[in-house]
Structure 1
Amino acid sequence: MTEIHGKHDSRFDDVRAALEKNVTSGDELGASLVIDLDGEVVADLWGGFRDQARTVAWDEHTITNVWSTTKTVTSLAALMLVDRGDLDVHAPVARYWPEFAANGKESVEVRHLLSHTSGVSGLEQPAVVEDLYDLETSTARLAAQAPWWTPGTASGYHASNFGHLVGEVVRRVSGKPLKAFVAEEIAGPLGADFQIGAAEADWGRIADVVPPPPAQFDLEALGADNVIVKTLTGPAIDAEAANTPAWRRADLGAVNGHGNARSVARILSALALGGTVDGVRLLGPDTIELIFEEQANGVDLGLGVPLRWGIGYGLPLCEAVPSIPDGRICFWGGWGGSMIITDLDRRLTISYMMNKMGPGIIGSDRSGTYVQAVYDALG
């Protein structure tokens, strides 16, 4: 059996066993998993390899691109500004970003950006992944676009542009680019090994992502005007792009956060713990409650699957993620399977980050197995 490193409370023996089984079988390449319960790290596990040749071990300080788990940190940045009284989720985006009012978007509210209901779920064609790296130009393009559906009426997952939209609001309000805000006001104060993009000094400890099996969408059959097609081609992203210098240098608050289970849990445990982690206050309970104001509940126009959105985070919906129970829980995950869950009733945070991407849109069979094992252990 492949050795799993770290520590865990004996209650979570089955969680460790599941991780060990998946690493040994090759279902996992390298992975990390953390459980924080009432402010105590009761499991901090890692194992496997950083590379497909299995020559470099995934160690305690390995980080990887966490894809859309990044969005949970970007949402937290916006909510911190709400908590300070600098941002109102029910105000028009144009109050803070006047150019966004163009083409019929004057009534789009900040909460619509945070809940993927703004109608702006991607770049109009032509669009290539390199466009995302030019933050100023691509953000201006998004501001100029007309919405693809009536804002506020349904969600349409803002797959690759969520960080451009929410990050621009953060920049306009705080005066700091999103990457700097996260570094200086979230990761730094918490001592969390997480960053938007990745500093070149850290590239040597990054586990390159391994792409998933081909997607099941038949985009051609859906037609060019379908929101799924427009979202997933605005721009289309090859997973291998995440292993390139240009990607790592970019400020992509939707998709290029780099960290591991420990650092993501450190940050997002703030939601489960009332807003404060080890004396570092990020936001207060009233702001956290905003997350649970349901904004959308139904088939997502951008992904074609049922989703339930609060403000900034996904909310439990058995059809979407059966392993997450009902309750005051918010979550989201990254392409290929990473997952971060904060359970306010149990003061519980579950974090899982890996480099071998699995099939599926929200989570993976592996993440579902770990989450179910955690909840089974807690009864």
Structure 2
Amino acid sequence: MTYDDIIVHGTVAPGFEGVRDVYAAALAEDSTEPGSQLAVRLHGRTVVDLWAGDGIDADSLPAVYSSTKGAAHLVVALLVQDGILDLDRTVTSYWPEFAAAGTDALTLRELLAHRSGLIGVDGGFPEDVLADDRLVAARLVAQAPYWEPGTAYGYHSLVIGALTGEVVRRVTGRSIQELFEERVRAPYGLDFHLGQPEALEPRYVPIRPMQPTAEQAALLAAAPEDPRSLASIASNRPTDLVEWINRPSVRALGPASVGGVGSARGLSGMYAAAISEVDGRAPLLKPETLAEFTRLHSAGTDLVTGEEDHFGLGFERPSIRYPSLSESAFGHCGAAGAQAFADPASGLAYGYTRRRYAFPGGAAPENERLVAAVVRAVEAG
């Protein structure tokens, strides 16, 4: 269907036509990049499946950056649910070397809530090391935390998956990437990969850097980021994360914090499997597991991002950004504009991908209108 020269492909279920209209309007208003995918499931059933933009189709696989964390911590939630991991045991009880960083009393619960203080390393990681979770974890245990562990929280943007992944590896002998493949991706046939197979390289859609407007560029120039700030340390400045993620070698390793690639269908399918019956299978997560992982664990201000009341365990709490969602919603956005979440209260599972960074980074702003339109359609039905 064509909207003012924007061709929107795909389908919506009856009652969700308004979502397609909002999606098309958002694309038409964004002169920098009209390439994205949107997929939504309701109680496991697909109700929105849309895509638009040159070189984009339903099977395109863009990088989803930190939406990867949702997949990584779904694995952790399953291991806690199975009794293999205990949230209130210390990390050092699983990974003794972790005590070297002065974090000997930190629990797995606190680590998942971004409270360790190990957001990076002095001088930054070499870019090849940053792509390898085991090397990242080994360097972090030699780093003094940037605040007293357990006393505050701050977004461990590039390293949380390496830290929790090392705990998983010490206990199971398997990586988060391997367990995600075996327990989640392969059984459901999801187009979302932690470690992109070489055979899928032709489907990868390279991420493009942000193109700020003149007004946005002026704002950036007026407030340059201090290279000594926690935000710079957590982002491994001056690494160009666009060029870095576009390297096949990085995507092949699939670092569990930021290295996943997938379609909107893959993202929504993963969250649908987490909360709903899909293909005759029971939801992956039990109600008590959902309640534990989605409740607020870190109240107050994030020392890295400045956001408020942001994290459950490993997952973001998207109702902070999208007030039409319930308090039980959980998921994770991604730096180039991706957004993915589930809302157990309504049965929604939402996936959005975008191939160009949106200003100022993180979930693209059009998600606010899209999520609101989806919720309106559900409530009207």
* Pairwise same-fold verdict (TM > 0.5): yes
Q: Which residue of 2 aligns with 1:2?
A: 6
Change (3 A) 1:269 1:27: farther
Q: CA deviation at 1:113?
A: 2.2
CA contact 1:93–1:110 (8 Å) conserved in 2: yes
Change (3 A) 1:110 1:253: same
Q: Which residue of 2 aligns with 1:368?
A: 368
Q: Which residue of 2 aligns with 1:23?
A: 27
- Residue by residue over 1:211-242, the C-alpha shift from the partner in whole angstroms, topping out at 9 and shown as x without a partner, is 12479498876462x32232123673431221
Q: Which residue of 2 aligns with 1:54?
A: none
Q: Which moved more, 1:85-94 or 1:131-140?
A: 131-140
**Letter of the 2:114 counterpart:** H
CA contact 1:124–1:234 (8 Å) conserved in 2: no
Change (3 A) 1:110 1:302: same
Alignment of 1:23-102 (within 5 A): 23-25=27-29, 26-50=31-55, 58-102=56-100
CA contact 2:68–2:256 (8 Å) conserved in 1: yes
Q: Which moved more, 1:226-235 or 1:299-308?
A: 226-235
**Letter of the 1:154 counterpart:** A
- Residue by residue over 1:179-208, the C-alpha shift from the partner in whole angstroms, topping out at 9 and shown as x without a partner, is 211112210111111111311111101111
- Residue by residue over 1:236-271, the C-alpha shift from the partner in whole angstroms, topping out at 9 and shown as x without a partner, is 343122111222222310111011111111111234
Return 5+ residue gaps in structure 2 as ranges.
none
Change (3 A) 1:249 1:288: same
**TM-score with structure 2 length normalisation?**
0.89
Q: Which moved more, 1:250-259 or 1:207-216?
A: 207-216
**Letter of the 1:2 counterpart:** I
Return 5+ residue gaps in structure 1 as ranges.
51-57
Distance 2:349 2:205 in 1: 23
Change (3 A) 1:107 1:293: farther
Q: CA deviation at 1:24?
A: 4.2
Alignment of 1:1-379 (within 5 A): 1-25=5-29, 26-50=31-55, 58-213=56-211, 216=220, 222=226, 224=228, 226-233=229-236, 236-273=239-276, 278-279=280-281, 282-316=284-318, 318=320, 321-379=321-379
Q: How many residues align?
A: 368
2:208 is paired with a residue of what secondary structure?
coil
Distance 1:260 1:342 in 2: 16
Distance 1:197 1:307 in 2: 31
Change (3 A) 1:21 1:77: same
Distance 2:318 2:134 in 1: 35
- Residue by residue over 1:111-139, the C-alpha shift from the partner in whole angstroms, topping out at 9 and shown as x without a partner, is 22212111111233242322212433321
Distance 1:217 1:180 in 2: 42
1:340 is paired with a residue of what secondary structure?
strand
**Letter of the 1:30 counterpart:** G
CA contact 2:64–2:336 (8 Å) conserved in 1: no
2:310 is paired with a residue of what secondary structure?
strand
RMSD after superposition: 2.3
> Quick one: percent identity of the two aligned structures?
30
Change (3 A) 1:14 1:220: closer
Distance 2:118 2:365 in 1: 30
Q: CA deviation at 1:79?
A: 0.8
